[in-house]
């Protein structure tokens, strides 16, 4: 899974409806910690996400805030049933 801009794609182009909706959800999680961790990651990369990456992000945004915060900060390991390339990428960015 690549989280870099795709060739020929302008990362400054206006976001389509799905991307705007996902960006809003990522930055309005309900807890300030997740707004920063998830929202910051998404804000800087969403323009370049493929449809599959958007699907992965959508799945991450369905996770409960307390669990998500614990997994992203490394307080608890990501359980196998929720482990995904998108969640690992967000965690890697949070811990960097």
Domain ranges of the chain: 17-95
Mean pLDDT by 10 residues, the chain (96 residues): 45 78 94 94 95 97 95 96 97 93
Superfamily of domain 17-95: Flavinator of succinate dehydrogenase (1.10.150.250)
Residues near 21 by beta carbon (within 8 Å), at least 6 away in sequence: none
pLDDT, residue 30, reads 86
Q: Is there a contact between 5 and 11 (Cβ–Cβ < 8 Å)?
A: yes
pTM here? 0.82
Q: Which residue has the tokens 């998404």?
A: 42
CA distances from 14 to 31, 38, 58, 96 (A): 27, 20, 19, 28
Q: How far apart are CA 5 and CA 11, in angstroms?
A: 7
pLDDT, residue 10, reads 53
Q: How far apart are CA 70 and CA 78, in angstroms?
A: 9
């Amino acid at each position: 899974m690549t989280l870099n801009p795709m060739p020929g794609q302008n990362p400054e182009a206006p976001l389509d409806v799905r991307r705007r909706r996902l960006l809003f959800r990522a930055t309005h999680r309900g807890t300030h910690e997740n707004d920063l961790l998830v929202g910051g990651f998404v804000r800087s990369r969403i323009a370049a996400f493929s449809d599959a990456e958007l699907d992965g992000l959508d799945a991450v945004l369905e996770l409960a805030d307390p669990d998500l915060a614990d997994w992203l900060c490394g307080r608890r390991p990501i359980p196998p049933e929720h482990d995904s390339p998108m969640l690992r990428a967000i965690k890697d960015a949070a811990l960097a």
